[in-house]
Amino acid sequence: MREQAERIVSQLTLDEKISLLTGKDFWRTKSIDRVGLNSIMLSDGPHGLRKQGEESDHLGLNESIVSVCFPTASAVACTFNEELVERMGRSLGSNSADEEVKVLLGPGNNIKRSPLCGRNFEYFSEDPLLAGKITSAMIKGIQSQGVACSVKHFAVNNQEELRMVVNAVVDERTLREIYLTAFEIPVKESNPWTIMSAYNRINGIYASENNRLLNEILRDEWGFDGLVVSDWGAVDHLYKAIANGMDLEMPTSREVGVDNVKKALADNLITEEQINVAATNLVYLTSRGNEITPDTFDIDQAHHLAREVAEEAIVLLKNDNSLLPITADKYQSIGLIGGFAVTPRYQGSGSSRVNSYKVTTLLESFVETFGAKQVTFAQGYDVSTDVPSQTLMNQAIEVAKSSDVVVLSVGLTDDYESEGLDRDHLNLPTNHIALIEEVMKHNKNVVMVLSNGSAIKIPFKDECPAIVEGWLSGESGAEAMVNILSGKANPSGRLAETFILNESQDPAAGNFPGTNHEVVYEEGIFIGYRAHQKERNTVQFPFGFGLSYTNFDYSDLTVDVIGKEEARVSVVIHNTGLVDGKEVIQLYVNENNPLLTRPVRELKRFDKVFLKAGESKTVTFSLDRRCFAFFNTEIQDWSVNTGEFTIEIGKSCEDIQCSSTVHIESFESNVRATDQRTYVGREVFSKGQKVNRNTTVSDLETHPTGRLLYNKIMNAVNPEEAGDVLCEKALISMIRDLPLRNLSLFAGEEDAMDEKSLDFIIKAMNATSQDKLLGKIVGLATRFSK
Ligand code: BGC
């Protein structure tokens, strides 16, 4: 197949090959009829298809076709269920195939470095093994339908602030053990056909122009044989990107990219061979999976599957005195309180926003399950503001007083977490907090049901008897929640991220989101539970935590060391409770006397098993060398140190049920390692520095002449453009963060600025007293165009 792509490329003219390096429009690649090369469509992802119709707008924000909205990634990871995630991927793939979408832009697989990253709802976990395995399962499912996925955003894209220019400064060991492992696992296990290179720089070099990342690591070391597509607008200079391993610039940069490559070719900055490689990767992609007959897509089945995923994602955090499940014999009247019960927050904003097929609400699902007579509803707060309303509060108090049990639906609104916008704190909106406090004064049986895409500070956590984390649970999430609350389904979700006590426990605190276009990953490998266990933090809820309506006992742990650097583990799990249920078995490893500082324990394997009440099962795991290894910067490879390792089986990272210490023998005779923390690349914009292509709109705010351009751009922002995809705050933040090079890309065809004009404006803004004339021109131009 690849040979066929090479043959096609060999028939193309140089101009044709160069033309393929940038897209045809916002979502499509170019076709060349002469050689039978078709255009293909790429669409977001990741938790539902967001295909725009024929009238795609230049921002990609207009309404998309109707599709099923699955739970978002932070929920999906909490299922710890690879088989279920693969089925979800299959459904997404068959929907895409049905709509003639060749590439689904997802899954999003960045590591949750800080709980404050606004896009965490689109990412799986703080742990690279869990993130990697769930990504792998999703890819298997999507690609089984002949549809490519695009694992994103490669790599180290862990914040929204200044995402298009920020330089993430990370040492090599941290990069390998945390941020890259999450991508390495799926590349090696599931062979994604495309990968999306991130917006940001890594140690000074843009991810899309990063030879070390894209060629040396991704292709040469991991064996990736697919196409690297840029994130939308991630390319600074197309020729540099192509010369360094990226293959396709999206969306189109029209003639700008083409001219850039032609000029670079003439100047010997890029070779025709490099262009051939990129063109071949694109041609190859258009043919991959074309022999596959996809499943027939059934939208109602997909809706039910989305419910099944949500059911396994919901995490029961607290259930004092077995308040849950809510059954008719325990409670005669149920008070349902909260605006989210009728206007659910079930997905996030930005490029992942799905035009959902059938959104069900908690109120509808409660009435259906318990009957209209048993359920009384009060709104409690207005979903469009943070400000408490006394009228709504009073109604809620009345409901609380007259109900046997209260289900209180609260969480984060779109203004709090979004693509393009990080959070400043972990709190819920003020009106939600005030409501919880009031309702708890009037009813003892309160069940707090949370809708949020990322960890939060749970108000009244100690006082509230029952807490259920529902995440952004997709269009059928309410049905899933009622099944859990009523006991029809037994909760089996486990936290894929730590719920810290407060912002000061954030491992990235002090280094997030950075300054002067730069963020230093000072905390190294110690993020998430790795940080909290090192610091001995008491957190709200630890990684891996989640309750069930039944109990599971663990026994008979055996660990057999097999030759060198490998082991086999088995453990018996017994459902000792009265109801059937699923348990997540988590295997952690730690090295007893490491050469370098290593985490207290790290997740290396997990499994989810179903056990009928009273049933027992033996669960087995194979541990390979990577389960014991660390990244050794001295040899630029993974090393296993001969010595004692403890294998622990836990219900969470803090609740170890059984453990065994074994001696592991290394293949290396004498492992040596030094903790080198070398950071390279510190190219930043600071006040007084010259304006360049990567200066952002917000940088101009304080620039003497740039200020005029800044005002002009910000005055032209029309919040209506975002439709319901982004809140106004997020849209403004995204525009402020745009580098000048992207002004034309996202300006729309008729307003497009060519590279010459951009260069001229930049020159003018940098004008010194010697070239006063330029300064005057830009001053006048901006004044007149106001
Ligand atoms: C996002 C990507 C998305 C792309 C296309 C970018 O802004 O970062 O995740 O796939 O837009 O919508």
Q: Whose CA is nearest to atom 9 of ligand 1?
A: 351
Cα–Cα distance for residue pair 152/128, rounded to 1 Å: 14
Tokens of 464: 């509230």
Atom of ligand 1 nearest to the CA of 108: 9
**Which residue, judged by its Cα, is nearest atom 7 of ligand 1?**
232
pLDDT score, position 786: 41
Beta-carbon count within 10 A of 371 CB: 11
Between helix 82-98 and helix 299-313 the angle, nearest 10°, is 150
Residue 3's alpha-carbon distances to 7, 9, 287, 325, 685, in angstroms, are 6, 10, 11, 59, 45
Q: What is the Cα–Cα distance from 764 to 738, expressed in whole angstroms?
A: 19
> Can the peptide bond before residue 706 be classed as cis, meaning omega within 30 degrees of 0?
no
Cβ pair 651, 544 in contact under 8 A: yes
Residue, of 317 and 763, whose pLDDT is higher: 317
- 782: confidence class by pLDDT, cuts 50, 70, 90: low
Residues 447-500 have pLDDT tens digits of 999 999 999 999 999 999 999 999 999 999 999 999 999 999 999 999 999 999
Grade residue 765 by pLDDT with cuts at 50, 70 and 90.
confident
Residues with a known catalytic role: 231
| Residues forming beta bridges with residue 547, ordered by sequence position | 316
pLDDT at 293 over 80: yes
Taking only the tens place, the pLDDT of each residue in 563-612 is 899 999 999 999 999 999 999 999 999 999 999 999 999 999 999 999 99
pTM of the entire predicted model: 0.96
Mean per-residue pLDDT, 84-97: 98
The pLDDT of 351-379, averaged and rounded, is 97
What average pLDDT score do residues 273-299 get?
98
Q: What is the mean pLDDT of residues 211-227?
A: 98
Q: How far is the CA of 215 from the centre of ligand 1 (A)?
A: 22
Encode pLDDT of 536-561 as tens digits. 999 999 999 999 999 999 999 999 99
3-state SS assignment for residue 669 = coil
Residue 338 has pLDDT above 60, yes or no: yes
| Confidence category of residue 709, pLDDT binned at 50, 70, 90 | confident
Report pLDDT for 784. Answer: 47
Instruction: At 133, list the tokens.
Output: 């395995």
**Cα–Cα distance measured from residue 520 to residue 516, given in angstroms and rounded to the nearest whole number:** 11
Burial grade of 83 (CB within 10 A; 0-12, 13-18, 19 or more)? exposed
628 CB-near residues (< 8 Å, 6+ apart): 565, 589, 591, 640, 641, 645, 664
- Going from the Cα of 232 to the center of ligand 1, the distance in angstroms, rounded, reads 6
The helix/strand/coil state of 175 is helix
The C-alpha atoms of residue 358 and residue 350 are separated, in whole angstroms, by: 20
Integer-rounded Cα Rg, in Å, for the chain is 27
- Please compute the mean of the pLDDT values over residues 749-757 and round it to a whole number: 72
CA of 235 to the centre of ligand 1 (A): 13
What phi, psi does 40 have (nearest 5°)?
-120, 160
Number of residues that make up the chain: 786
Q: What is the predicted pLDDT for the residue at 773?
A: 60
pLDDT tens per residue across span 51-82: 987 666 656 667 799 999 999 999 999 999 99
Residues 25-36, mean pLDDT to the nearest whole number? 96
Report whether 126 contacts 542 (CB < 8 A). Answer: no
pLDDT of residue 220: 98
Q: Are 98 and 294 in contact (CB under 8 A)?
A: yes
- Torsion, Cα 429 431 436 440, to 10 degrees, reads 160
Q: State the pLDDT at residue 199.
A: 98
Q: 244 and 275 in contact (C-beta within 8 Å)? A: no
Give, using CA atoms, the residue closest to atom 8 of ligand 1: 231
Tell me the C-alpha distance between 283 and 272, whole Å: 16
Residue 775: band (very low, low, confident or very high) from pLDDT cuts 50, 70, 90: low
Q: Give 458 Cα–ligand 1 centroid separation in angstroms.
A: 30
Nearest CA to ligand 1 atom 11: 232
Determine the residue of 49, 57, 105, 157 to mutate for testing ligand 1's pocket, defined as the one with the most ligand atoms within 8 A of the Cβ atom: 105
Q: Residue 777: pLDDT band by 50, 70, 90 thresholds?
A: low
Q: What is the mean pLDDT of the chain?
A: 94
| b/e burial code for range 33-43 (CB count within 10 A of at least 16 → b) | eeeebebbbbb
Higher pLDDT, 263 or 754: 263
Query: Looking at residue 770, what is its pLDDT?
Result: 58
Are the beta carbons of 500 and 455 closer than 8 angstroms? yes
> How many whole angstroms separate alpha carbon 203 and alpha carbon 180?
14
Q: What pLDDT shows up at residue 80?
A: 98
Report which ligand 1 atom has the smallest distance to the Cα of 45: 10
The Å distance, Cα 351 to ligand 1 centre, comes to 6
Ligand 1 site: residues with CB under 6 angstroms? 44, 60, 105, 152, 231-232, 351
**Of all residues in the chain, what percent are helix, strand and coil, respectively (each to 5)?**
35, 20, 45
Cβ neighbours of residue 405 closer than 8 Å, sequence gap 6 or more? 323, 326, 330, 331, 333, 334, 335, 443, 445, 446, 447
The 10s digit of each residue's pLDDT in 635-671 is: 999 999 999 999 999 999 999 999 999 999 999 888 9
Cα separation, 320 vs 466, in Å, equals: 6
What's the first-to-final CA gap in the chain, in angstroms? 56
Q: Hey, which residues does 469 pair with through a beta bridge?
A: 315, 450
Whether 435 contacts 387, CB under 8 Å: no
- Counting from 1 in the atom list of ligand 1, the atom nearest the Cα of 157 is 8
